[in-house]
Amino acid sequence: MPDAETAAAAVARQIAETVAARPDAILGLATGGTMEPVYAHLVRAHCEGLSFAHVRTVNLDEYVGLPPDHPNSYHSYMARHFLDHVDIPREHSLIPRGDREPEAAAREYAALLERLGPVDLQLLGVGHNGHIAFNEPGTPVDAPTRAVRLSPETRRANLRFFAGGETVPAEAVTMGTAQIMSARSLLALAVGDAKARALATALDGVIGPDCPASYLRLHPACTIIADRAACSDLY
C-alpha cells in the first residue's frame, strides 16, 4: 500500500466486510498506534449503517497494574477509539484484566476465550522486535495465554503513550501464540519504517521464536497489509 492511511483503510474494509457477511462474527482486536486509524474507519462505517450489535470481540492483551479506567489501559484505549462509538453491547467485549493477580487474570481470560470458541478474524499489529500481541522474542508457537514480562525494547517503544514521569508497566497479560494461531483468519497490519526490520524478518527470515511474527507464515488464512515504508527492507 502506498501509505499508512491507505493500509489502515484496507484493513478496516476487510473487518467491515467480515461483519457485513457475518453479523455475529467473533473479532480479535488489537491496540497500539497502528490501529487508531483502523478504528476511526470502523466508527465511520458504523455511522454509515454498519451494526456491531451482534459482534463479539476479544482483545489481545492488557498491562499488569493498570485498572480499566487508567488512561493507558487497553480497556480505556478500546473505549476511546472504538467501543464507546459503536453499538456493541459492553458484555460482548472481552479484554484481560490488568488489576488482578496476573497469573489468575491470565487463567480467567484463557477460560473465557475457550468458552467463546474460535475467533473468526484476528487483527494483529507487529512490534518493533517482531512481537505479536505481547508474545515477545523467545516465545514458542504454542504458548498459552499467560502473564509475561515486557522486553526493554517494547517498553521503550510504548513510552510515547505515557505521560511524562510515568513508566510503562513491566508486565502484561497476553493472548498466547497458540490462541492467536487458532483463529480462523489473521489480519496483520504494519506501517512505518520503524517496522521494516521486523516485517522483513517475519517474512524473509527463519520461522521461529526469535521473531514471533514469523509464525504468521504458518497460518493457512493470514493476510498481511503494510505500507511502503514498512516494506522497505523486504527483498
Shortest distance, CB of residue 227 to ligand F6R, whole angstroms?
Answer: 12
129 in active site: yes
State the cell numbers at 214. 514469523
46 in active site: no
41 in active site: no
Q: Which residue(s) pair with 148 in the sheet?
A: 172
Shortest distance, CB of residue 21 to ligand F6R, whole angstroms?
Answer: 25
136 in active site: yes
The CB-side HSE value for 57 (13 A sphere, CA atoms) comes to 25
Which of 120, 136, 158, 227 is labelled catalytic?
136
| Alpha-carbon distances, residue 171 vs 67, 136, 142 (angstroms) | 13, 11, 20
Bridging pattern class, strands 56-59 and 26-29: parallel
Which of 46, 81, 131, 158 is labelled catalytic?
131
Shortest distance, CB of residue 48 to ligand F6R, whole angstroms?
Answer: 25
Q: What is the DSSP letter of 122?
A: E
Between residues 61 and 227, which has the closer beta carbon with respect to ligand F6R?
61
111: which residues sit within 8 A by CB, 6+ positions away? none
Which of 46, 59, 61, 75 is labelled catalytic?
61
Between residues 53 and 116, which has the closer beta carbon with respect to ligand F6R?
116
> Which residues are at the interface with ligand F6R (CB under 6 A)?
30-34, 60-61, 125, 127, 131-134
| Residues 142, 152: Cα–Cα separation, whole Å | 23
Residues carrying an active site annotation? 61, 129, 131, 136
